[in-house]
Amino acid sequence: MNASGEGLHDAPREVDPPRRTPAEASSYIADGYSLRSWFVTTDHKRVAVLYLVSITAFFFIGACAAALIRLELLTPAGDLLTNEGYNRAFTLHGVVMIWFFLIPSIPNVFGNFLLPLMIGARDLAFPRLNLLSWYIYVFAGLFTLYVLLTGGVDTGWTFYTPLSSTYANGHVMAALTAVFIVGWSSILTGINFIVTVHKLRAPGMTWGRLPLFVWAHYATALILVLATPVLTITLILIALERLLGIGIFDPSLGGDPLLFQHLFWFYSHPAVYIMVLPALGVVSELVAAAARKKIFGYWFVAYSSIAIAVIGFFVWGHHMFVSGQSMYASTIFSFLSLLVAVPSAIKVYNWTATLYKGSIALNAAFLFAMGFIGLFVLGGLSGLMLAMLAIDVHVHDTYFVVAHFHYIMVGGAVTAFLGAVHFWWPKMFGRMYNETWGRISAALIFLGFNLTFFPQFLLGYLGMPRRYHVYPPEFQALHVLSSSGAFILGLGYGLPLIYLFYSLRHGDPAEPNPWGATGLEWTVPSPPPTHNFEEVPRVENEPYDYALRHDESIG
Amino acid sequence: MRARSLVLVWLALLLLLALSVGATFLPIGGWRHGISIGVGFVKAGLVLWFFMKLRTAGGLARLSVLGTLLFLMALILLVWIDYASRSSYRGSGIMTGEPNAGSTSTHFS
Amino acid sequence: MQRHEPYPTLERQREADQLGMMLFLGSEIMLFGALFAAAFGLFLQHTPDVEAASGRLNLWLGGANTIILLTSSVFVALGAEARGRRPRRLVACFLAAALLGILFLAVKALEYAREYDEGLMPGTAHAHFASGPQQLFMNLYFAATGLHAVHLTLGVVLLLVLALRERWRPATAAAIENAALYWHLVDVIWIFLYPVLYLTRG
């Protein structure tokens, strides 16, 4: 690979790559071909692949809902969907994308696959529990599919009472059940990760030598274990209210709908950190590998993950600034929300310092990482704006908020997910994909994403409310821009499916370390054997011991 | 003998139960609630320390319990702050956007 | 005890099991903790109503249940203590604890029956409450104690299974310890449920 990252994988080939490389023949993929060997596996790598397939399917469903929404919004009139239908579309989009794609995406695919490899272990702490997590996820997914096929739910993914508990039509119980069940998958994953990092590190793998990806997933796991149960009980309470009239959020009985919001957002705010922290971990790995340089400020980045997880538990009230929460509580939440931006910013500074005077490669994976940094900063800055009471009062429940969280979740988390796919694909499947197509995807996605969501900042600031499908004609131009962008974005997401799949059979065989990156996962063959390491490694090197060091970027 | 200390803890728990029930009948107003919850914390602490073996467990196990409790306290504390500080301006018109909202003076009307 | 992959030593595996169980218990604490937060919210907003409603619960039956559960807890602790050395004591203690758990459920059922008769149960209840918030408190009482009873039933089943098959298939140390921890947690939850629900009377 030359300095600009152009590689051996674009030139036309004279000889077809082998059907099966020697590494593949002794890998975890070749270790049993029956369906049973996959569905009763305890190998963390196989479970990761099972998750990869399932979340891709759900991404597609969520994307279809998004397509419906963006199609509807091309015109000011509500001509594609009825009011009820539109509500169901954005509810499905939210429920599927959050719980069935974003939350499991990086942790359950890349966390599962890489965590043991990165720390020098042969598997996670509780391999059977890992498989159970996947089955629970699939079982919950069946309920979601049922909701989808029977017409959907109109409450929004936020299930606010008293709409969800008393007035909503549709299959609220099934939707509640789906989310209730998938929560257990999250909790078990979290327990698995925490115990793995504490108890299965190889000799010499001290906390200070862990890849930042591991730190990020450890922090994520803390949130998974502590926040998810609060969602569980909240859903139970709504379900009880629907089934038995037993609810305590019922205003006609003197209950407080805001109490629901307190409980719901106590989970759902940390949940957004569940979605973003793993992405931040991925980007740390990608940035160091792209710059071929030791990450700047390792401990700052490591502790910032923990700080985000901890402070993230104390900011949930910023979703309730205009719901009737006391002004004093809102002020406290506002201050804490400003505080939580600091560790995220620290990461961005450290990545920038890492890139400075690095020898930056521009492979597809790294392009995704660069895109992430820019989009995450924009999303984060808009988040700071939203954290301020005075601004939020005006833009709450407008497209400004929609743009903000899509910049973080899509521009951030999904981009990082794709970056991870492009980076670790050779490791997971032993094949290189076509670099040029990878870069085209990255560019299309970056372009499409900005075209879709930047107009939404403007729309929101001008007053376009969210969750509305009928709007005044003066907003149409921006909506058309946004929907056009969505089309391009869709193309960008579709491309990897094609060339990645193609690479499985026709790609060049991958070496153990095609990117020249550091980390124990790059010391094993691509794809790895079932037992990961021939001998449990003894770790002596510092992390990210690239040839260039960070102080070479100073001066 | 460990069994003996377990039985002693059990007796202590029963005593504390009697205490909290007894406190319910004393004419001490709102302090009753504080006492009964406080006794609850002591009893839970005893169960965690002696029955659940936190006494001999490593720092990690203790930290998991402590950490959990801290986050739970954050939930309860901030909910408390919300409810406790709401009534001060309820009815003052702030949230409904009336002109001169929040003002308690009758100069402008 | 058998060492499983991927653990390098048995000691490490045991530590991992204990840590895993503690984390699971942490998640259960958050589960019930949020319920307590909801109760607290209700209390803050409607203090006199909550105190009045709490007075309709029978604190003596609740107190009896507390004694029952605390006693079952010490039995479980004694039984776990006897693991390996005195298997018959382990079985006896776990069975005693399970029986006490069933007794708890019986007392609970008795309470529910009386509350049903007084028309306090959700769905049958409207005319019998002085105010909406009082009904809310009762609803919360049913939700909380119902959820607790579900957890308790699971615990009883666990203890029974472990005790009854000890003769033919002795349980691993991890299983005994984890079952004990679970039972103690059910106890701790009740330790808080009792004052919050029964002792908040005016």
Beta carbons of B58 and C74 less than 8 Å apart:
no
> At what angle are helices A212-244 and A172-199 packed, to 10 degrees?
150
Name the domain count of chain B: 2
Statement: residue C116 has pLDDT above 90: no
* Residue C130 reports pLDDT greater than 90: no
Whether residue B100 lies inside any domain: the answer is no
Contacts with C184 from chain B: Cβ below 8 Å: 47-48, 51-52
Q: Is the pLDDT of residue B1 over 90?
A: no
B68 in reach of chain A (CB within 8 A):
yes
Q: Is residue A9 included in any domain, yes or no?
A: no
Q: What's A526's domain CATH number?
A: 1.20.210.10
Q: Whole-structure pTM over 0.90, yes or no?
A: yes
Q: Please, which pLDDT band fits residue A2 given cuts at 50, 70 and 90?
A: very low
Could you tell me if B7 and B44 lie in one domain?
yes
Instruction: Check residue A6 and give its pLDDT.
Output: 46
Structural domain contains residue A17: no
Q: Which residue blocks in A206-322 are alpha helix, DSSP H? A: 212-244, 257-291, 298-311
CA dist., res. A485 & res. B94, Å (int): 40
Are A248 and C6 a contacting pair at CB < 8 A? Answer: no
Is pLDDT at A237 greater than 80 in this prediction? Answer: yes
Structure tokens at A94: 């939210």
Tell me what pLDDT residue A4 has. 44
Same-domain status, B43 and B75: no
Q: Is A325 on the interface with B (CB under 8 A)?
A: yes
Whether B22 and B63 map to the same domain: the answer is no
Same domain, residue pair B50 and B79: no
- Residue B106 within a domain: no
Q: Which domain holds residue B67?
A: 58-86
Residue B95 located in a structural domain = no
Q: Which of residues 26-45 of B touch A (CB under 8 A)?
A: none
pLDDT higher than threshold 60 for residue A550: no
Structural domain of A501 = 22-553
- In this predicted structure, the answer to whether residue A524 has a pLDDT above a threshold of 80 is yes
Least confident span in A149-163, C5-19, C186-200: C5-19
How far does chain C reach from its first CA to its final CA, in angstroms? 54
pLDDT at A168: 84
Q: How confident is the model at residue A3 (pLDDT cuts 50, 70, 90)?
A: very low
The verdict on residue B97 lying in a domain is no
For A356, the token pair is 């400075």
pLDDT score recorded for residue A31: 86
Could you tell me which residue, C55 or A12, shows the higher pLDDT? Answer: C55
Residue A346 lies in a domain: yes
Q: Does C135 touch chain A (CB under 8 A)?
A: yes
Q: Is residue A138 part of a domain?
A: yes
Are B47 and B12 within one domain?
yes
B74 CB near a chain C CB, below 8 Å? no
How many C-beta atoms lie closer than 10 Å to residue A48's C-beta?
23
The answer to whether C18 and B64 are in contact (CB under 8 A) is no
Contact with chain C for residue B33, Cβ under 8 A: yes
Chain centroid, CA C31 distance in Å: 13
What's the confidence (pLDDT) of residue A398?
A: 97
- B86 and chain A: CB distance < 8 Å anywhere? yes
Stretch B31-44: mean pLDDT, rounded?
92
**Residues A160, A257 contacting (CB under 8 angstroms):** yes
Q: What is the mean pLDDT of residues C62-90?
A: 93
What is the pLDDT at residue A487?
96
Show the domains of chain C with their CATH numbers.
Answer: 38-198 (1.20.120.80)
User: What's the mean per-residue pLDDT of chain C?
Assistant: 91
Tell me, yes or no, whether B98 lies in a domain. no
Q: Do B44 and B62 belong together in one domain?
A: no
Residue C59 has pLDDT above 70, yes or no: yes
Helix then strand then coil, % of chain C, to nearest 5: 80, 0, 20
Tokens 């980076």 belong to A423
**Rounded average pLDDT over C30-52:** 92
Residue C202: per-residue pLDDT: 67
B93 within domain boundaries: no
* B8 in the same domain as B50: yes
Q: Would the CB atoms of C188 and B39 count as touching at under 8 Å?
A: no
CA nearest neighbour of A322 among A389, A381, A259 = A389
Nearest to C81 among B3, B10, B83 (CB): B3
pLDDT at C4 over 60: yes
